Structure 1
């Protein structure tokens, strides 16, 4: 508590209210020196200080400094590299290799440094979807398969866990394909808009 008081005092001295009030109070001192305030100069100075403090805009805390989309994309790209290393070390069924390869190929293309990644970074929903796939969906699907496969060996006759893994990877691939199509459509609309702009300009 004792250490917070000096900080509060410094914060008040540096505040907009105190600075604005002090500037107005200084104007009152000038009026006093020029003889305008007369014998009531203390009231004039205090009143101008108070008026300035009331007119000053309120203090507001600075907003949180969250990483910009480019920094977020770089983090996801690094996590994707770790995910690929994890996938290289696990044993997956042959039927899951094709949807997994298609999925990781799409993710790699979206995260490749360059203009495509810049388009993704400008799309918050798309960036969130890719981040969720890399950090949650794919690792969870693979880990759940590995765990369930071990239990299936102890209790044969259950539904093969490979089916769930294949279906999950196929769904994630379809979802990522839809994202890529949406980003492509946005670029196509941008191109069409530029064509219409040039056509309209040529008519005038």
Structure 2
């Protein structure tokens, strides 16, 4: 089966098709009497030349989801994460920080012009995806597991401190994404102002 597939791929390849086309030209020259007694060499040579000049086969590039499509999937994962977090008991300080982070992520992922702007930045989409699918659940789950051990060994560093620090870092990262999007819109506004002023000068 693999051999037959390989033969079929070769028959359909650019090299074979181009070589065959030039080989047919060689046969045409033979029938016209231009190739003489060396017609097999002429046909084989033209076929070989066609196979050499044909562009190499190029496998199709993988069709990964575009950032806009990734945002749609990310919204679903964010809803799943929020359901998980609603069932988790967190200390007040960490809970407050998580609420701030939740509000920021909700605003960034809300369908509309903000999400459209976000979709133009694949690195920002990746950062949010990592936070939602990995960092936040890992931080909360690690806190819960460490808290259980802390009850057995009192006197160790409170795990909620690490959770607060982790959520603070994640909040700052999300805030940085929002600030970058805001800066991009501000640059766009300034560019449009400059364009209008230059156009007025040119018409004046």
Give the TM bin, normalised by the shorter chain. Answer: over 0.9
- Structure 1, unaligned stretches of length 5 or more? none
SS in structure 1 opposite 2:160?
helix
SS in structure 2 opposite 1:203?
helix
Q: TM-score, normalised by structure 1?
A: 0.93
Aligned residue pairs, count = 202
Task: Note if 1:80 corresponds to 2:73.
Answer: no
Q: Which residue of 1 aligns with 2:37?
A: 39
Q: Which residue of 2 aligns with 1:159?
A: 157
Q: Which of 103, 107, 110 matches 2:108? A: 110
Q: Distance in 2 between matches of 1:57 and 1:28?
A: 21
Higher mean C-alpha displacement, 159-168 vs 174-183: 159-168
How much has 1:33 moved relative to structure 2?
A: 2.1
SS in structure 2 opposite 1:36?
coil
Q: Which residue of 2 aligns with 1:91?
A: 89
Q: Which residue of 1 aligns with 2:139?
A: 141
Superposed CA deviations along residues 15-42 of structure 1, whole A, max 9, x for unmatched, are 0010001111111122122222223222
Please provide the CA RMSD for this pair. 1.4
SS in structure 2 opposite 1:159?
coil
Q: TM-score, normalised by structure 2?
A: 0.93
- Structure 2, unaligned stretches of length 5 or more? none
